[in-house]
Chain A
Amino acid sequence: MNVSLILIILLIGAFATYLVGDKLASKVALFFSLAALGCSVVLTNHFLAGESISLINAWITQPKISFALNADGLAIAMLLLTVALTPIIIFSSFGNEYKNAKGFYALILFMAFAMTGTFLAADGLLYYIFWELALIPIYFIALIWGNGDSEERRKAVVKFFIYTLAGSLFMLVAFIYLYQKAGSFLIEDLYKLNLSACEQLWIFLAFFLAYAIKIPIIPFHTWQANVYQKAPTVGTMLLSGIMLKMGLYSVIRWQLPLAPLAAKEYMNIFIALGIAGVIYGSIVALRQKDLKKLLAYSSLAHVGLIAAGTYTLTIDGLRGAVLQMIAHGFVVVGLFFAAEVIFRRFETRNISEMGGIRIQSPKFTSMFLILVLASVALPSTFNFVGEFTVLYSLSQINVWFAVLGGTTIILGAYYMLKMFQHVMLGDKNAKTFADVTINEGISLVVIIAVLIFFGFYPKPITDLITPSLETILNVINKN
């Protein structure tokens, strides 16, 4: 079976969505995203049966660039995350009306296409192209369909675009340098390079700049909160649920194996930076007035911990990081959707104008609470599995890393429960709040089901990703 099939489905879907017009666009987009999901599941089964589903096609001869896709367990996990979240995100938008809906939904599919490509690409330049390609749709989605004052929004979105683009250019330079050395962009050729420690350091830093902005790791995060706030919720979900995982994934796939000496040498600094993000993000989240901004900072804290996990260079750290990427992807999409559900009724994102929702809508309250609890990694949710594993790996490096990173357990509970209290509890709000509609309920229930199922039984994912992570670790430790 050909792995490029999924890319083709998503790309065709994007065009088809655009062509069918505004009325049907959302349904067609949903159809194609589900088709991609179905196809990915079949693909995963083939992979698990031992079939190789990677491919290499010559593409450009001079310089030598190939259309190479590699679907190992890690890539498949990220692929599944993307194609599982995309239909949920599309479906969650069904309660909203968009101007020029065909463009909107086509861009979502196009973005899914680019992100999928990023996860699958096994050629440096192809990867870079997909990486940058993913930026374009989100730029337009945030710019055109975003909310708030249009001038402010433009400023935030353009800043985001230039900032991430600028960071990525350093990665491009690094790839070109690597190509000079290896004569190929293919990942396996690049893995074979024996670079000096000094070269590795520069490569490492160039990649780091690109990823630190995308993930984001403090202090490169300043674009995040504003864009999350200004983008339409669908855009925020795409960004936080999937796109920032591109950065984390790339750390594991590209940065660490290409510059292992530098990674080992400066490991502690980068772990510390990730943990600083945990504490900083959590503390800033405490005093946010805007619900989406609060969630943005909470996301900053969570990805900080994931990043710290990747930089431990241990199997536990990498595995925990990937598990947590997936868990975080689902929970953050759920939380942003909950914020959207509230916005549909109260037309505000200001926490101080909320409250008194529980009394009117018990169902929504229960679902929201479960998401909050998953976000604070209550055991028996998927997020606990990831967070526990990452913290454990940190404790093996230095127990203080685990203690400091572990403050997320306390601070996370603090800002999330405080938020929950002010958003949901208290006496009746003057405005009425209708309980979730069936459509809204379906999206939330699917997300919750995933979080709880893998909370108790993460084994399928663990088994899927572990071999490929071990392979990558072998590359890192080859010297």
Chain B
Amino acid sequence: MEMDTNLALVLVLAPFLGFLINVFFGKSLGRTVSGIIGTAAVVVSFLVTIFFFNQITLTGKAIQITLFDWIQISNLKINLGFLLDQLSLLWLLFVTGIGSLIHLYSISYMHDDENMHKFFSYLNLFVFFMITLVIGSNLLVLFIGWEGVGLCSYLLIGFWYKNQDYNDAAKKAFIMNRIGDLGLLIGMFILGSMFSTLDYATLKTAIAGAANLNIPLLSLAALCLFIGACGKSAQIPLYTWLPDAMAGPTPVSALIHAATMVTAGIFMVTRLNFVFDLAPDVQTIIAIVGGITSLVAATIGLVQTDIKKVLAYSTVSQLGLMFLALGFGAYEVAVFHVITHAFFKACLFLGSGSVIHGLHGEQDMRKMGGLRSAMPITFWTMLVSSLAISGVPFFSGFFSKDEILLTAFHHNKALYVIGSIASIMTAFYMFRLMFLTFFKDFRGTEEQKHHLHESDGLITFPLMILALLATFGGVISLPGNSWLNEYLAPLFTKVAGEEHHLGTTEYILMGVAVLGGLLGILIAYIKYFKQDNVPESDENITGLAKVLYNKYYVDEAYDVIFVAPVNALSKFFRDYIETGLSALVFGLGKVTNELGFQGKKLQSGSIGLYLFAFVLGLCAIVSYIFLAQ
């Protein structure tokens, strides 16, 4: 037990130590050393995670560690504690594993930036908070991590802080997340008052043992928690920050805004599956929100021309699919897709980073093309990942996406159709991206063409590892023989999902999904390879494409509906209410003054006036007495 505690502390604190070293000594250590320290810190966490992971696969026993009391509230005792169980260790495995690869990648990618040590300190801090989020034994420790990763996301989106547009994007991400965080807090308050605990294990027993559960209240809590998940995992209506978050350096997009942080919402819902299971109405909402998000984001992704924006919308869309699965209570399916998505999307982002790096910062796909020969490793790894995300058999994404669609089919045909359409679109825009970037002739400047080259080993090595994982990652949950479902089974009260028997329906659906994916790829092939189309320049986009290109004008709508009124109200309060209240207080003073001044006049010294007043008063009193009788 002692050793477990110490090791868990190493797991959590190693990245924090890396953060401290880079904050205080990073500049003097030099870029390479600071990068190595940052990477090593995460690798340490990864190794410890492997140790724990092995232990739990052998024993199957979760480890609960309590450090000390933290916040005291009358009926709630909240401590700082860790829970190392199947779910948290699985998450830690890919957080620290992919985290290590991305740190390694960043040593090369960020090497020309004078603030590289800062980059690594933020990245380490992020990993620290992400680990805290995952490893916490209660909702409030999760919340430390939850807001902490939000902070790091803020810092890293605005990493190039000289550009105020980037700072705007960073601020937007933080504030939108905070809207969700309020939901999460309220959800915690309700759970806390219902069950007097925020500790996962205790909560689970309390809910299981409760007689006469107040289901409406519990559903409200679940809904609030889901609002929190919407913020962090970029679901409608709180998704607009994620595409803007692409202002951050590409490794950040890969790590935070694709593979790890944005999956926190799915983690939280999975963690509290025993709450959501009792709130079927909320589950329906989750499925609908997830389905619609996946479709809306996919349609926007169809026409984007910035390579990172395509991937960003794709991420929103894929997260939507995960929520679709969560809504049907198929937690293990969602988790499966989280993992495969982490592999192929991290790979895609890092690949796009390699491209951007090779083109000295160019992100517009209209100015790319033909990079296949110059950047073969980048090309092949991205191709593999694109096949995976498009659901081509037998890449990892095929299995996970197929399970989601199967689940949807069994529960709700409409959402199945929506999810399927989103998947076809995904295949289309991913191969649109591939064709525009890697095939045909190069459309950039001569200068760029001259410098085209494959990135160095620190960049290509993580790409290759991730591509391998994106290819073979599906083995963890093969249809009919799922290691993952078995591994996660202790977490769920139900028998892990309803195992889909592979019958004729399933095979037909699988075939439909595959054909859909291939159809998407085919259309992309015809349009961008055969016909050699290049997307129009911004001014020439018209009609529906323009609406999509401008993301349905949702940002503008939010500005009109929320931001502008609040600002107008602020101005109104400042200019009218504040001055008005101020004048009122001054007015009170003036009235007092004036009363004194007028009262002074009464004291005129005229005996006649005094006598007159005296008689008048006397009359008044006498008549009052008479009248009263």
Measured CB to CB, the residues of A under 8 A from B are 159, 162-163, 219, 221-223, 225, 280, 283-288, 314-316, 319, 358-359, 362, 366, 373, 378-380, 385, 388-389, 391-393, 395-396, 399, 402-403, 406-407, 409-410, 413-414, 417-418, 421, 425-428, 456-459, 462, 466
What count of chain B residues pass the 8 Å CB interface test? 52
Asked whether, in the complex, the Cβ of A284 is within 8 Å of the Cβ of B193, the reply is no
Nearest-neighbor residue (CB-CB) of A388 within chain B: B71
Q: Tell me, in angstroms, the Cα distance from A162 to B586 when the chains sit together.
A: 11
Q: A286-B566, A402-B186, A425-B161 known; A389 and B581 CB under 8 Å?
A: no
Q: Does B144 contact A (CB under 8 A)?
A: yes
A-B contact list, 5 entries, CB within 8 Å: A223-B585, A287-B571, A319-B72, A391-B185, A421-B164
In this complex, what residue of A is CB-closest to B177?
A: A413
Report how far A427 CA is from B174 CA in the complex, Å. Answer: 21
**Which chain A residue has the least Cβ–Cβ distance from B188?**
A392
Report the separation of the CA atoms of residues A319 and B178 in the bound assembly, to the nearest whole angstrom.
25
Residue B167 is within 8 A (CB to CB) of chain A in the complex: yes
In the complex, A478 Cα to B181 Cα: how many Å? 39
CB contacts (< 8 Å) of A315 on chain B: these are 74
In addition to A378-B147, A380-B144, 9 A-B residue pairs with Cβ atoms within 8 Å of each other are A159-B586, A283-B566, A284-B573, A379-B148, A385-B70, A399-B190, A406-B182, A407-B182, A414-B175
Chain A residues within an 8 Å CB radius of B144:
379-380
A417 touching B171 in the complex, CB below 8 Å, given contacts A378-B151, A409-B181? yes
The distance in angstroms between the C-alpha atoms of A409 and B227, with both chains bound, is: 15
Residues in B whose Cβ lies below 8 Å from that of A458? 70-71
Residues of B close to A219: CB separation below 8 A: 581
- The 8 Å CB contact of B158, one of A385, A389, A425, is A425
Asked if B582 CB lies within 8 Å of chain A CBs, one says: yes
Report the Cα distance A382→B132, complex, angstroms.
Answer: 18
Q: Is the interface of B mostly helix, strand, loop or mixed?
A: helix
A283 and B167 contact, Cβ closer than 8 Å, known pairs A162-B589, A163-B585, A391-B185: no
Q: Does B574 contact A (CB under 8 A)?
A: yes
Docked-complex contact B175 and A288, CB < 8 angstroms: no
Q: Which residues of B contact A (CB under 8 A)?
A: 23, 68-74, 76, 80, 118, 140, 143-144, 146-148, 151, 154, 158, 161-162, 164, 167-168, 171, 174-175, 178-179, 181-182, 185-186, 189-190, 192-193, 566-567, 569-571, 573-574, 578, 581-582, 584-586, 589
Q: Which residues of A contact B569 (CB under 8 A)?
A: 283
- How many whole Å from B216's CB to the nearest CB in chain A? 12
- The one of B69, B182, B192 in contact with A459, judged by C-beta atoms closer than 8 angstroms, is B69
Let me know if A286 and B570 touch, CB within 8 A: yes
Answer whether A409 and B71 are a contact pair too, CB < 8 Å, given A284-B570, A378-B147: no
> A8–B282 Cα gap in the complex (Å)?
63
- What is the chain A residue whose CB lies nearest that of B145? A379
Cα distance, A362 to B117, chains bound together (Å): 12
Out of A222, A314, A373, A428, which one reaches B585, CB within 8 Å? A222
Q: Are B162 and A373 in contact (CB under 8 A)?
A: no
Query: Which B residues touch A459, using CB under 8 A?
Result: 68-70, 72
B70 to chain A: which residues have CB within 8 Å?
A: 385, 456-459
User: In the assembly, what is the distance between CA of A456 and CA of B68, in Å?
Assistant: 10
Shortest Cβ distance from A322 into chain B, in angstroms?
12
A425 touches B186 (CB 8 A): no
Q: What is the chain B residue whose CB lies nearest that of A162?
A: B589
Bound-state CA distance A316–B589 (Å) is 40
Q: Name the A residues within 8 Å of B73 (CB-CB).
A: 316, 389, 392-393
- Do A426 and B167 touch (CB < 8 A)? yes
Q: How far is the CA of A410 from the CA of B179 in the complex (A)?
A: 6
Instruction: Give the residues in chain B near A392, CB-CB below 8 Å.
Output: 73, 76, 189, 192
Asked whether, in the complex, the Cβ of A417 is within 8 Å of the Cβ of B175, the reply is: yes
- Measured CB to CB, the nearest residue on chain A to B69 is A459
Residue contact A222 to B581, C-beta cutoff 8 Å: yes
- The residue of chain B having its C-beta at the shortest distance from the C-beta of A218 within the complex is B581
Chain A residues within an 8 Å CB radius of B189: 391-392, 395-396, 399, 402
Name which residue of chain B comes closest to A411, CB basis.
Answer: B566
Q: Which 9 residue pairs spanning A and B have beta carbons closest together?
A: A395-B189, A286-B570, A287-B570, A379-B144, A222-B582, A427-B162, A425-B161, A406-B182, A417-B171
| Nearest B residue (CB) for A289 | B574
Residues of B within 8 A of A288 (CB): 574
Give complex CA distance A456, B578 in Å.
38
| B462: min CB distance to chain A, Å | 29
Residues of B within 8 A of A359 (CB): 161-162
- Minimum Cβ distance to chain A for residue B9 (Å): 14
Q: Please tell me which one of the listed residues A162, A362, A373, A403 contacts residue B182 in the complex, with CB atoms under 8 A apart.
A: A403
Which residue of the partner chain, among A283, A388, A409, contacts B178 with CB atoms under 8 Å? Answer: A409
A379 & B586 in contact (Cβ 8 Å cutoff): no
Residue of B nearest to A365 (CB): B161
Q: Do B71 and A389 touch across chains, with their CB atoms under 8 A apart? A: yes
A280 contact set on B, CB distance < 8 A: 573
Interface contact B167-A421, CB-CB below 8 Å: yes
Residues of A within 8 A of B182 (CB): 403, 406-407, 409-410
Bound complex: CA A391 to CA B140 (Å): 14
The one of B161, B193, B566 that contacts A358, using a Cβ cutoff of 8 Å = B161
Separation in Å of the B128 CB from the closest CB of chain A? 11
Q: How far is the CA of A319 from the CA of B573 in the complex (A)?
A: 32
> How far is the CB of B152 from the nearest CB of chain A, in Å?
11
Q: B505: shortest Cβ distance to chain A, in Å?
A: 45
- The distance in angstroms between the C-alpha atoms of A421 and B170, with both chains bound, is 10
Residues from chain A with a CB closer than 8 A to the CB of B76 are 392
Asked if B74 and A314 sit within 8 Å, CB to CB, the answer is yes
* CB-based contact B578/A222 at 8 Å: yes
With a cutoff of 8 Å between Cβ atoms, the chain A residues found around residue B69 in the complex are 459
Contact (Cβ within 8 A) A457 B68: yes
Give chain A residues whose Cβ lies under 8 Å from the Cβ of B179.
410
Known: A316-B74, A406-B186, A413-B174. A380 touches B148 (CB 8 A): yes
Partner of B151, one of A362, A373, A421: A373
Q: For A395, what are the chain B residues with a Cβ–Cβ distance below 8 Å?
A: 186, 189-190, 193
With contacts A402-B189, A406-B182 known, is A385 near B581, CB below 8 A? Answer: no
Distance of B575 from chain A, by nearest CB (Å): 9
A284→B578 contact, CB < 8 A: yes
Nearest CB of chain B from residue A376's CB, rounded to whole Å: 8
A426 touches B161 (CB 8 A): yes
Please pick, from B23, B151, B567, the residue contacting A286 in the complex, using a CB distance under 8 A.
Answer: B567
Question: How far does the Cβ of A213 sit from chain B's closest Cβ, in whole Å?
Answer: 10
Cα–Cα, bound, A391→B566 (Å): 23
Report yes or no: B175 in contact with A413, Cβ–Cβ below 8 A: yes
Residue of B nearest to A385 (CB): B71
What CA separation (Å) do A378 and B143 show in the bound complex? 10
**B76 CB → nearest A CB, Å:** 8
* B142 (CB) vs chain A CBs: closest residue: A379
Measured CA separation A225–B577 after assembly (Å): 14
Tell whether A413 pairs with B158 under 8 Å between CB atoms, given A219-B581, A395-B190, A395-B193: no
Report Cα–Cα, A366/B20, bound state, in Å: 13
Q: Which residues of B contact A223 (CB under 8 A)?
A: 585
A385→B162 CA distance, assembly (Å) = 34
Chain B residue nearest to A359 (CB atoms) is B162
> Which B residue's beta carbon lies closest to that of A424?
B161
Bound CA–CA A385/B167 (angstroms): 28
Residues of A within 8 A of B175 (CB): 410, 413-414, 417
List the A side residues contacting B185 at CB < 8 Å. 388, 391, 402, 406, 409
Chain B minimum-CB-distance residue to A155:
B586
Bound CA span A378–B185, Å: 13
Within 8 Å CB of A462, what residues of B? 72
- The answer to whether residues A287 and B74 also contact, given A406-B185, A413-B175 and a CB cut-off of 8 A, is no
Q: Which residue of B lies closest to A407 (CB)?
A: B182
Q: How far is the CB of A332 from chain B (nearest CB, A)?
A: 20
Chain B residue, CB-CB nearest to A463:
B72
Contact between B574 and A287, CB atoms less than 8 A apart: yes
Per the bound structure, the CA–CA distance linking A359 and B161 in Å amounts to 8
- For the complex, what is the distance from the CA of A358 to the CA of B159, rounded to whole Å? 11
**Distance to closest chain A CB from B355 (angstroms):** 28
What is the distance, in angstroms, from B593's C-beta to the closest C-beta of chain A?
A: 11
